[in-house]
Amino acid sequence: MLMPLLRSGVLYVIWRRHIRQRALGIIVTVLAILAVNLIHTEAFAFFKATERLELAPLAFYFRWLGWLLAGIGYLWFVERKIAKASKADRVQKNGAGKSPRQENKAAKNTLIEQHDGFDALRNNTPLRSRSEIMLERKKRDKSEGA
C-alpha cells in the first residue's frame, strides 16, 4: 500500500525538478530523431529500388549526422537555457555576482552590528524559579529575625 504512494511521490518530484522544464525539448528531440529515422528508411528503400546501392552509405552517414545534430540542438537550446537560468538565480541570491566565499570574507571584514530582535531579551535580568524566590525569602527572614 505504501510503495505505490512512494513511487508516485518520487515520480512527481522527478517530474517537478527535472522533466517539466525539459519536456518540450525532449519531445522535439524525439520527434527530430524519429523524422531522421523515417527519412533514412525511405532513402534506403529508394536506393534499393533504383539499384543505386553505392549511395546507401550516405543514408547511414546522414542518419548519424541527424542524430548528432538533434542531440547537439537539445543541449544547445534546452540545457544551455536551463544552465543560464540557474546561474542567474545563483547570482541573484548571492548579490552582485560574488561567490559565497567572497561574501563570507566581506562579512568577516566589515564589523557591522547585527540586530536580530533578541537584544532586549539578552539584556534582561535572568528569570528566577519559585524555589529560588522561596529560598531568598527564607534568607531574608533569617537575617531580619536574627
Give the domain ranges of the chain.
2-109
94: left (phi over 0), alpha (psi -120 to 50) or beta: alpha
pLDDT of 50-81, one tens digit each?
A: 999 898 899 999 999 999 999 999 999 988 88
- Tally: H helices and E strands in the chain: 7, 0
Instruction: Compare 123 and 47 and report the one with higher pLDDT.
Output: 47
* Alpha carbon distance 39, 34 (integer Å): 9
Residue 44: which of 29, 60, 28, 31 has the closest Cα? 60
Query: Among all chains, which residue has been given the C-alpha cell 525539448?
Result: 25
Q: pTM, whole model, 2 decimals?
A: 0.55
C-alpha separations of 69 from 14, 16, 29, 62, 89 in Å: 27, 27, 10, 10, 29
pLDDT of 90-134, one tens digit each?
A: 888 776 555 666 666 666 655 455 667 777 777 777 788 999 999
Rounded to 5 degrees, what angle do the CA atoms 132, 133, 136 make? 85
* Alpha carbon distance 60, 51 (integer Å): 16
C-alpha separations of 95 from 106, 107, 110, 113 in Å: 12, 13, 16, 20
SS3 60: helix
